[in-house]
Amino acid sequence: MRFFLTFLIVVLSIFGFKDKDLYSSKDKLLIEIISYVIEKGHYDPREINDDFSEKVFNKYLENIDGQHRFFLESDIKNFARFKFEIDDQIKNADLEFFNLSYEVILKRIDQVKSFYKELLITPFDFSKDENINLDYKNQSYYISQVQLKKYWRSRLKLSTLDRFTTKKEEENDKFKKDSLYQIKSDQILEEESRKITLENMNYFFQNYSEFTRKDWFSIYLNSIVEQFDPHTFYFAPSDKDRFDTSMSGKFEGIGARLTKRNQEVKIVEIISGGPLWKDKLLEVGDIILKVGQKNEEPVDISGMRLDDAVKLIKGPKGTEVFLTVKKIDGTISLVTVVRDIVELEETYAKSSIIKTKENFYGLIELPKFYVDFKNYKERNAAVDVKKEINELKKRNVKGIILDLRNNGGGSLKAVVDMTGFFIKTGPVVQVKSTGGKKEILSDFDANVFWDGPLVVLVNEFSASASEIIAAALQDYKRAIVIGSKQTFGKGTVQNMVDLNRIISSNTYGDLGALKVTTDKFYRINGGSTQLEGVKSDIIFPNRYKYVEIGEKDQDNPLKWDKISPANYATWEKALNYDYSLKKSKERLINNYYFKLIDEQAKWIKKQQENFSYSLNYEIYNLKREEDNMYSKRFEQLKEYESSYDFEWVNEFVIGDSIPTDLLEKRERWQESLKKDLYVSEAIEVLKDLNKSLSNSYKIANNKK
């Protein structure tokens, strides 16, 4: 990638001097650069032709108005002339289709804004037999504003009916608890419900009003790049900042999560360990009115987009920011905050001791393979997991569960390093890059940080880096993988290309970045995890079993294939896996809870396929009651509780004060582990592995 970027900078710098008129706007510049980067850097670039154009056309309309809330049929017919011309417009940096669609969507949004409040003035009659169908994919666009207005009325009525039904239930519950309670009339409940719908719609259109042209253009660009594969994605500057924060688990700022509603920027969470938490400067519910920098006049942020307000508040560690704040009690005060590094603890690895009658076991939960792109030596997933392993070893655990459920991936280097903790040396993953070059990424450190029984927990949302480590440990016969039938199936690697580095001079400001698929990874046995994922050794039923989830259900995924296997040897201390697998399958067959989960999964699938809703209260409520009655049988799943005790491994140094909210989160985590069927079965598998290990030891001694 470094060679590719250097080459690209030279080419485009020269090209830019030859034809500066080509860069007459930032949008055209972005199309030129992104097209070139994909053509030269994507793993499997596709021909930009009429077929490509049609797919972009359909995807773009789906992205900006997939629910048919704004466009009319006449608009779609007007756009249709561009259906097979977008490929030519991309090649010529022509923005005619985007410009037209942008003008029309703004016009249509304004039209809906002009009448939605009117629709909420008149009370809804829930005694009428009306229906609404929300199967957008199979619905046509509306012919006229009259039809669209009627559709919006039905949507608003459904939202209000749902709240009205909930309020009636709450009123009846209050009366059951207190026979003297005066139940509110249906008229009052309908009015209250309609008011809530209005408030939500005001908030909905407030968010739309903050959308700028560049936001809409980002949608257009991503409708183009997503045709190459689901993971090639354009990040506008603010989106890139959020991506970096999510990958590193930290940022520089004041340590608060903010929301904006009714032109007010409000604090909704104080992040543990951040400046606000340490100095107890602000609290949840406080409203930030103005933001000032040193030697500058404070800026009123009430009319700003939330992203722009956040940019003013965040800043380098050690710098000051001056906040004019309206406190919960109504007082106005000026608060000075010294910015610092804020770490999002919930994104990091954490571990728990599991106490059984015979032994201790350990569980390490890893939400993602986080890394600081600017400095790998800073906190990253591999370093943290090694610390957790060492802490568990101090407690003399007899087995470890590595929980990768819902782990969407992250750093490739971190996953290679982490796999090495469980094997001596050898290949971890094979990577095939743009142009067909193959590379084997290996662990060269002979130290094994954990050589005991190991179970890897996965589900349909375990993807990318999670699949690499699960596949490698499975191929080495180093661990038993248990979970869903297969993992997500993302067998590709992306690199982030900073578009600002592409041209020598840039007068347009920050151009953002392109996450582009540059590599495909393969197991050490030669098979790709693309589409097929990692198949579990022990398959658990779960509530998403019958729902379409995974790479194979995405648009434009790369194909599955295989290459020659790497040279590797299976784990020399291989346990009697057959015994453990056999015992687990016997337990699953006879487990009532797992049978119930499978039934629940079928019911969820059925619910998702229902798009029609009655707007009559009696019919709507009857369906709701039937659903509630049926779903109650699944509440038995909440009753499950394992016989094992769980103890959070405290990562804080002795003497450190543990944030109260973090302590509460950890305690809740321990409670959730105790009620986790999948964790319980993983413990049983570890116990069986220990039995087989003990039996193998006895046999070996007898032979001597």
Residue 19 bears catalytic tag: no
3-state secondary structure of 450: coil
Q: Is 547 left (phi over 0), alpha (psi -120 to 50) or beta?
A: beta
CB-based burial, 3-26: b 16+ in 10 Å, e otherwise: ebbeebeeebeeebeeeeeebeeb
Q: Residue for token digits 């693309």?
A: 530
- Choose among 77, 29, 70, 53: nearest CA to 211: 70
- Choose among 56, 496, 410: nearest CA to 232: 496
Residue 440 vs residues 428, 433, 528, 536, 620: alpha-carbon distances, Å: 7, 11, 14, 24, 58
- Choose among 529, 517, 560: nearest CA to 226: 517
Phi then psi for residue 632, to 5 deg, are -65, -30
Both tokens of residue 469? Answer: 């480590």
Phi then psi for residue 590, to 5 deg, are -100, 5
Question: H or E segment at 124?
Answer: none
Q: Where are the beta strands (DSSP E) in 213-331?
A: 233-235, 250-253, 256-261, 264-270, 287-292, 299-300, 320-326
**Annotated catalytic residue within 384, 443, 475, 676:** 475
Residues forming a β-bridge with 338: 320
Residues forming a β-bridge with 543: none
Kindly give the interhelix angle for 145-177 and 186-209, rounded to the nearest 10 degrees.
130
Beta-carbon contacts of residue 524 (< 8 Å; ≥ 6 apart): 426, 427, 428, 429, 430, 440, 471, 472, 475, 476, 565, 566, 568
Question: H or E segment at 110?
Answer: helix 96-119
**Annotated catalytic residue within 464, 466, 484, 536:** 464
- Choose among 451, 479, 449, 453: nearest CA to 466: 479
Residue 490 bears catalytic tag: yes
**Annotated catalytic residue within 168, 260, 432, 490:** 490
Q: Provide the terminal-to-terminal Cα distance of the chain, rounded to the nearest Å.
A: 56
Residue 461 vs residues 176, 213, 415, 484, 549: alpha-carbon distances, Å: 42, 33, 17, 9, 8
Q: Residue for token digits 């370093």?
A: 383
The answer to whether the CB of 629 falls within 8 A of the CB of 621 is no
Both tokens of residue 605? Answer: 């699938």
Helices (H), 270-395: 275-279, 306-313, 381-394
The answer to whether the CB of 129 falls within 8 A of the CB of 616 is yes
Residue 464 bears catalytic tag: yes
Residue 123 vs residues 191, 194, 390: alpha-carbon distances, Å: 7, 8, 64
- Choose among 381, 390, 440, 373: nearest CA to 409: 381
Q: Residue for token digits 């908030």?
A: 203
Question: For residue 552, what is the DSSP state?
Answer: G
Which residues are identified as catalytic?
464, 475, 490
